[in-house]
Amino acid sequence: MTEAVIQFRYTLAPAAADAAAATAMLAPVFAAAQELGVIGRDAARYDGLAFGNLSYGSGDGQGFWITATQTADRNRLSTDDIVYIESFCLAENSVAARGSHPPSSEALSHAAIHAARPDRPTWVLHGHAPSVWNAAEALGWPVTDRTAANGTLAMARAVAALAGETAGLIIMGGHTDGVLAYAGDGSAALALFAQALDAARSAQSGSSQSGQHHARH
């Protein structure tokens, strides 16, 4: 189990001055992702650890904001629950952050997507959705190498290989139930995730009906 285990080197300086404004911006999208059921905490899943995270970068060539590790079950985000990633280096597996708590263990996977879109605003929602994860190949969604585990440099590099300048969905093949949805604004990233959930449900329903049809014959 590597859920929530930080596997990169990081430094943590005092919180950035604009943390309150960033929190106010992230909070509604964070709450909507909880409502969608793709971030949060479930005692019966992942050893009871919180799952999922959210990030935003303005596309100004600087860093990005991301929720801190193990905050996906917060009833309401506070300034202590978010971290500013000032810089990162995939080659060195390192992150320089500002905040009260360590950044999400998936910070480098988020960084890989922000790096693919350096000149435009980007929201990245990492959520857990078993139905989407299991339907990935059948529905033709891009899947990272299944030997690249969550939170690792290998996963960040695998995400970087699939991330593009346009909005998209990436299935984290080596991270059970892990999905990344990214777009130019938070509502669009949420919509991509919701559409994937609908598509997976439809595929499962179609498969079940087909099985029942064959059983009758």
Query: Which residue ranges make up each domain of the chain?
Result: 9-216
Q: Taking the CA of residue 36 as centre, how many other CA atoms within 13 Å lie in the half-sphere pointing to its CB?
A: 26
Structure tokens at 37: 């059921």
Q: What is the pLDDT of residue 98?
A: 97
The SS3 assignment for 188 reads helix
Q: What is the pLDDT of residue 4?
A: 63
The neighbouring-strand residues paired with 143 are 171
Q: What is the pLDDT of residue 210?
A: 53
CA distance 191 to 33: 10
CATH code of the domain occupying 9-216: 3.40.225.10
Tell me which residues of the chain have a pLDDT lower than 70.
Answer: 1-4, 206-217
Chain-centroid distance of CA 92 in Å reads 21
State the angle between helix axes of 153-162 and 107-116 in degrees (0 to 180), rounded to the nearest 10: 30
Q: What is the pLDDT of residue 205?
A: 78
Query: Phi and psi at residue 106, in whole multiples of 5°?
Result: -100, 20
Residues 6+ apart with CB under 8 A from 103: 6, 10, 66, 68, 69, 83, 85, 95, 97
**How does 203-213 read in b/e, with b if 16+ C-beta sit within 10 Å?**
beeeeeeeeee
Structure tokens at 136: 């990935």
